Structure 1
């Protein structure tokens, strides 16, 4: 059914065009969340204020238009999708306020969970919920789903740690439980609603059988249905309302802000892995451990251990475990190390009588406990990585009473075998009896759908009826379990939920068919296709974990959305459907505005680098291989031309002045159809390259200095306080530290190949890379001398898949960290310095190393939050400046107290300087400024 004209007309007046999406590409991109459902919205609206939400809900309420709210879209049960209007949070929902020294924190719904914890960390506090998706999930979704996690349990979830709520009801009314004026106005305007809530509470508490059932159900982790415990835990109707909102999945209102009571974040921790010979002994140990000072106890069955046993870094002994083995991963945390040791002794004594097949003792060593947790965290992606293309990965989470956990596990294993899910694994939060089970499922045939339906009905009967457990413990009911809510709760409680829904959403406009549905087969409809698209991305499960680090998120597409669209294009082509228009739109949204830096791979559970797909597609469309070959063969000429171009631009600046040149450049770019690059005041001046003569033999240690092509062409900007080119500054620093600096022969012809790779010419890129590696091998005397590369993206390209182990290649961070710190004396400055960790520095594993070095140089280090990639991406900052501007839209405010920024890529620094309003330099400038040669130690 199409949207009413009156609604659309009003929305056009309310929401600017750039935040309204109804084109086929955008609506398809937003038609997926992390679940196995797909609904294509008719209209997507990006909202930036509470006022907009209020007006939209008033319009939707008046016109009976269904709306769904979406934060990060990491929901696993289909609660963040819509075939009507999808309301998506924009940038301006990121407010946070620490209160009472960290005892409380007020958060807007767009704050990522991990970001909330980052601001609380210095106070040794954190929010209670700790979902596995915390690096991507936003507070709005965490509260709306009552998400929990490994350490959270039932005591520290959003329901239990809620201190205040600001919400917007279906009719557009705002009420803030922490604002006396708002409460007074609401009591007056909605007295009838509050009285009805109070009456529902009184009736429920008076019905002892129902009240006891509700209390009994919530002794377990439980997110099935609406939060009926609000009716027995509270008698004040506003408290009831607030706690009904927790876990309501957007079906009762919009959460505009939440205040949490925070929980301790103890600094000392240790983990152990205890492998028991069978499920029974493993599960019998859980109630014992519940009485001990443990923060987490994770169960892993033999199948889950087997799924990761061949992964890189896994201990050899995992493969040798018996078929019936079952493990517990145990963590304990404490405020002091001595208390931690006491707790460990107490924990181990409590389970000393249990038979053990294998044991990794408690360790405080991060290398040890991180490896143990890697076993646990890699189980889900391990199943995803082996699934057949076209199938999906389904992760369910149920709760058994802890005292019946062993029987529950074994009965689930029987169901897997009965329904043919041989790959299925079980793991979970054992302290709460909360088990996740993961299996692969195809929906491409009626037989497969019937198999899934039969399996889920058996699971529902087993968990909810036979064991009296919960069908959803922390992932939310969504569409997935909506048909089974009555089975779990019984008719009386189920009808009570419907009364609440109709009271707060009388016209049924809020996220229909989620949590409660009149359709008994809603869980079998709108199933998401995952067609083959390309081997690079076919393992994608569309979880959305990649999205927070993508620079084009909010401008065009995210990595998840790029994959969604490409899958659809390939499926349509196979079906004979014309994809010309979709591919034309995809060229800009999918390819041209992708930075292709691969940060998405670091967040992806199965390691997918969407940038690899983009480069491959660029290569397929690249039609100038001959030109690329000529450029590769005449690279010194290319660099000379680059310097001449920069010199011409600098002459124009001197003649016209920077403001006029910037305006002229913008005009010419527009007239050229955005083919001409954009000039800014941060544009570099040309380098006048004069390499020194070959270093004379000496007793000094040698270092081969690879000055990247950008360092050989691009000097400082005209307005920069630093006017010494990077090449000269680096050489001076290396010599200050006592190194003899050597340059490769024929340097101006050398290139790592990155410019060719990013443009879709892999053959020419690899030829240049090979040529450079050969030159470095010769310059380093067969690998005897270290090689210093002054630009981190070039270093990354050279070391990736490097087969020649003789070469010792260093980016600036690693070389300074390993070779210069002991040779230089640091006198830190007090002026604050901003740090941008480039994508390549992150891939090289040197992010913390960079921050640590800058911390030696200044007493005030500023790392802007939420900027993971600057989006300059080689020459994208010149040719697609909107990507760079979008990625750095929050930079200026974040670094306004700084006088300088530091990075390790000259091109990134151009965009950073332009958008920050301060000059960004290579790391060596700062290190050189605050160091002097360390005086030799006096001989004894």
Structure 2
């Protein structure tokens, strides 16, 4: 469906133009969610307030334009896409309020689920829903899909832990059920609606056959169709309304905030993996565990175990399991160790009658527990990683009655064989009879589409009709199960759902064809292509798990969207279409504004680093290979030139004053198309490099100190009260701890290669890295002495190659943690310190180490909750300043009251100081200030 020009014009009158997108690149980027469907919206509208939502809904009604609400787009069933108006949550939907000592929390829909739990953790509570996507999905989606998860079951989902809700109906009406005045106004304005809901509920309860069916369906884990249990569980029409909204997938209204009754988050837990000889004994054990004090029981069939058996650290015996083996991953939690041990005694006694083929017995070791959970969590991506290029990964979730679970597993496996899905695997939440099955599927061939259709019809008949189960347990109905809702529920219940839809959305404008559809083939339409584009990204399943940590998400493109667009460009090229306009837009949106820090790879279930693709594309565009080679060969001269430029800027600051220079610089940067970096007071002063004087022989332990090139060039900003250079401060701290500091020869000509690699010059980067490693080998006496690098990005750049050469390489965090802590006495201060964990520190695995050291130094440490990457990214903070600004847009309010910030990258500290309003320094400044040498 196309959006009329008149409707688009009306939206642009209401919403600032920079938050309304209808260009081909943006609409394609947002036309993708985690499902296997694609619709290209007529307009993507980023809303920042409830008033804007109401305004857009009124425009939609005036022009009969459908509207879809989108939170994180991690939905698997096609709920978050539209060919009309797609409403996307902006930054202003992240307010929260913790109440009653953590027993309740009020959340806006733009908050990521894991963040809500992070806020609640100090109180010992969490929200009930625990979907696998909790690190990426948002509260809006969790509520709209009634998401659950591995420990949530049915008792702790949104429906059962809902305390109150603020919602917007299709006609623009707003009601907050915990606000007496709001409720009073709504009852007056919408009394007829509430009366009809009340009558509908009374009629449903009076229809005993239907009421009993509804109660039976919701004893199972079930998200198929609308939440009809609201009609039998509640009599107050407002309660009915709010509970109908849960799981409605945006088809009945918009949830602008929700208050949860939280659940305890017990710190003590034990985990076990038990492998049974067959599915029957495995499922009987699962049924028995339902009456035991367990929090999670995950089933994994033999195929799913086989998909992850080569993962590092897993037991060797996994390879030798029998073909019929079936496993349970069991976890129990308790508020204290004594109760945990009591629970383990009960659980083990209940399991004693079952023979196991292999097992990892109950353990409280968090490393072993994490490894066991890695088996379970790795199954879905394992299928995604080995699927044929061009195919997608389908993950369905059904529920069988628990007493028929074993037979359900067997019958599903038989359907895999019947339809030729040889790579399909089964895993799931056994306590609820909830099974996920995963298989690769192509949609570029009509025969493949027909095979999928036949398989899904067989699955629907098996689960819904033969077993009386649920076709959707927790992923939401979406588009792919909408044609089968009537089959599962029966005609009367299906008609009841349409009545509810007619009451709340009479014009059928909210997410049409989702949950309820009269098109029997809607599940086979608008199927998303996943064409081959580049081996670096072809495994991408477009799940969106990467997006929360990407600094450009919301400014230009996220990693998922970069891949979506690049795939489309490659497909269009193969089809002979002109892609010049799309590629021109992609240059800025996809390439220039990518920080390429690789944090996306840490969140990606199939280990894709989108930055690798961006660097490859930059390398194709580079036209100055000779210049890059000259710079690599004359690096000392390049650094001298950089010092000269910084000196000129410092001189201009003294001559013109900071305000005038900032204004002049901004104008020159704009005129130059941002080729000239913009000056501001956070800019560093130049350092005059003096080659270190060789030290006399000493009995003190040696450390080879490698100051990064930025540390050798960039000193403190002129307005920073701390004027000691990082080199001097580092040497001072190392010597205080009793070390003899050694520098590699020819230091000012050395470089780790990162500046060349990030610009797309891999050969020059490799050459500089090799030169540096040779110098470090010589300085460290072939690896006898540890090497300390004062900047974490440089450490990361040479880490792997250094390890292969036998060099003992340290970044500041690791060296302080392992080599200095015992040589120093810490006297913590009360100064409020903001800690920025750089991307490279995260890649090095030293995030917690940095935080722990900061807490040794200060009793008041602040860690901004949503700053994953500052996006200064070498020189992007100078050349693409809007990226750095966007990434740190929430920093000032989060560090309000802090007197200093610390980090481990000099360039990052420039951007952090610029946007945070406080001076950021290297970690060594703080450690040196609060320590003295330990007595010998």
- 2-structure distance, mates of 1:873, 1:158: 40
Distance 1:478 1:801 in 2: 48
CA contact (8 A) 2:309 2:318 kept: yes
2:272/2:330 contact within 8 Å kept: yes
Q: Kindly state the Cα deviation for residue 315 of structure 1 after the two structures are TM-superposed.
A: 1.9
Aligned equivalents of 1:427, 1:160: Cα separation in 2: 25
1:172 is the counterpart of 2:172? yes
SS in 1 for 2:163: strand
User: Does residue 218 of structure 2 align to residue 218 of structure 1?
Assistant: yes
Instruction: Tell me if 1:747 matches 2:747.
Output: yes
Alpha-carbon distance in structure 1 between the residues aligned to 2:314 and 2:604:
19
SS of the residue 1:822 aligns to: helix
Q: CA deviation at 1:692?
A: 2.6
User: Secondary structure, in 3 states, of the residue corresponding to 2:40?
Assistant: coil
- Within 2, Cα distance between the matches of 1:131 and 1:721? 48
Matches within 5 A, 1:239-278: 239-278=239-278
Matching residue of 2:327: 327
Deviation by residue 1:541-572 (Cα, 9 ceiling, x = unmatched): 00000000000011000000000000000000
Cα shift at 1:804 = 2.3
Q: Partner of 1:540 in structure 2?
A: 540
State the 1:316 CA deviation. Answer: 1.1
Q: Deviations over 1:429-484 (max 9, x none)?
A: 00000000000000111110010000000000000000000000000000010000
- What is the CA deviation profile of residues 382-424 of structure 1, one whole-angstrom value per residue up to 9, with x for unaligned ones? 0000000000000000000000000000100000011010100
Measured in 2, the distance between the counterparts of 1:439 and 1:176 equals 43
Deviation at 1:5, TM superposition (A): 4.0
Which residue of 2 is the match for residue 421 of structure 1? 421
In the aligned structure 2, how far is the partner of 1:779 from the partner of 1:678? 38
The CA deviation string for residues 140-189 of structure 1, in whole angstroms up to 9 with x for no partner, is 00000000000000000000000000000000000110011111111111
CA distance in structure 1 between the partners assigned to 2:426 and 2:79 by the alignment: 24
| Deviation (angstroms), 1:64 | 1.2
**CA offsets per residue over residues 780-814 of structure 1, 9 Å max, x none?**
00000000000000000101355624101000000
SS in 2 for 1:530: coil
Aligned to 1:527: 527
Q: Write the distance in 2 (CA, Å) between the matches of 1:150 and 1:766.
A: 45
Could you say which residue in structure 1 is the equivalent of 2:79? Answer: 79
Instruction: Give the Cα–Cα distance (whole angstroms) in 1 for the partners of residues 303 and 296 of structure 2.
Output: 21
Count of aligned pairs:
936
Per-residue deviation, 1:528: 0.2
| Cα gap change, 1:330 to 1:615, in 2 (>3 Å) | same
1:659 match: 659
Rounded to whole Å, the distance in 2 between the matches of 1:308 and 1:695 is 53
Measure the CA separation in 1 of the matches of 2:653 and 2:85: 49
Helix, strand or coil: the match of 1:800? helix
Q: Which residue of 1 aligns with 2:450?
A: 450
- Aligned partners of 2:337, 2:244: CA distance in 1, in Å? 40
- 1:878 pairs with 2:878: yes
User: 1:352-751 counterparts in 2 under 5 A?
Assistant: 352-751=352-751
Note the C-alpha offset of 1:318.
1.0
In the other structure, the counterpart of 1:17 is 17
Provide the secondary structure at the position in 1 that maps to 2:830: coil
- 2:32 maps to 32
TM-score (norm 1): 0.99
List per-residue Cα deviations over 1:896-931 (Å, max 9, x = no partner): 110000000000000000000000000000000000
Q: Give 5+ residue unaligned stretches, structure 2.
A: none
- TM-score, with length taken from structure 2: 1.00
Give a deviation string over 1:685-727, Cα, whole Å, max 9, x none. 0012223311211110000000000000000000111100000
Deviations for 1:580-607, whole angstroms, at most 9, x for unmatched residues?
0100000000000000000000000001
Within 2, Cα distance between the matches of 1:361 and 1:468?
35
1:773 corresponds to 2:770: no
Distance 2:675 2:751 in 1: 25
Q: Tell me which residue corresponds to 2:831.
A: 831
User: What SS does structure 2 have at the residue aligned with 1:859?
Assistant: strand
How far, CA to CA, are the matches of 2:539 and 2:2 in structure 1?
35
Partner secondary structure for residue 605 of structure 1: coil
C-alpha RMSD over aligned residues: 0.7
In 1: Cα distance, 2:390 partner to 2:287 partner: 41
Q: Which residue of 1 aligns with 2:867?
A: 867
Q: CA deviation at 1:741?
A: 0.2
Aligned to 2:152: 152
- Give the Cα separation in 2 of the matches to 1:346 and 1:622: 66
Q: 1:100-179, aligned counterparts within 5 Å?
A: 100-179=100-179
Give the match for residue 46 of structure 1.
46
Matched residues in 2 for 1:801 and 1:388: separation? 33
What are structure 1's unaligned runs of at least 5 residues? none
CA contact (8 A) 2:769 2:798 kept: yes
Tell me the distance in 1 between the aligned counterparts of 2:222 and 2:804.
55
1 CA distance for matches of 2:803 and 2:188?
74
Whole-Å separation in 2 of the counterparts to 1:35 and 1:715? 49
Q: Return the offset for 1:934.
A: 0.5
Q: Deviations over 1:618-648 (max 9, x none)?
A: 0011111110000000000000001111000
Q: What is the correspondence of 1:903-922 to structure 2 with a 5 Å cutoff? A: 903-922=903-922
Distance in 1 (CA, whole Å) between partners of 2:498 and 2:806 is 70
* Higher mean C-alpha deviation, range 244-253 or range 185-194: 185-194
2:821 equivalent in structure 1: 821
1:665-694: CA deviation from partner (whole Å, max 9, x where unpaired): 000011112211111100000012223311
Moved over 6 A (4+): none
2:227 is the alignment partner of 1:227: yes
Deviations 1:185-211 (A, max 9, x none): 111111110110001000000000000
Describe the superposition over 1:239-281 as per-residue Cα deviations: whole angstroms up to 9, x where unpaired.
0000000000000000000000000000101100011011110
Distance in 2 separating the partners of 1:447 and 1:414: 21
Alpha-carbon separation, structure 2, partners of 1:482 and 1:804: 55
Please give the alpha-carbon distance, in whole angstroms, between the structure 2 residues aligned to 1:673 and 1:588: 12
- What CA distance in whole angstroms lies between the structure 2 residues aligned with 1:122 and 1:803? 39
Shift of 1:291: 0.5
Q: How far apart are 1:831 and its partner, in Å?
A: 1.0
Deviations 1:93-133 (A, max 9, x none): 00000011111000000010000000000000000000000
State the Cα distance separating 1:8 from its structure 2 match. Answer: 2.3
Deviation, 1:317, is 1.3
- For 1:385 and 1:250, locate their aligned partners in 2 and report how far apart those are by CA, in whole Å: 32
Q: Describe the SS at the equivalent of 2:555.
A: coil
Mapped to 2, the partners of 1:269 and 1:657 lie a distance apart of 60
Partners of 1:428 and 1:79 in 2: CA distance: 22
SS at match of 1:367: helix
Structure 2 distance, partners of 1:416, 1:747, is: 63
Native 8 Å contact 2:536 2:608 kept in 1: yes
* CA deviation vs aligned residue, 1:295-343 (integer Å, no higher than 9, x gap): 0000000000000001222221111111111000000000001110111
Alpha-carbon distance in structure 2 between the residues aligned to 1:691 and 1:825: 31
Residue in 2 that maps onto 1:98:
98
- Aligned to 1:436, the other structure's residue is in SS state strand
Which residue number corresponds to residue 302 of structure 1? 302
Report SS of the residue matched to 1:151.
coil
Partners of 2:9 and 2:628 in 1: CA distance: 50
3-state DSSP of counterpart to 1:832: strand
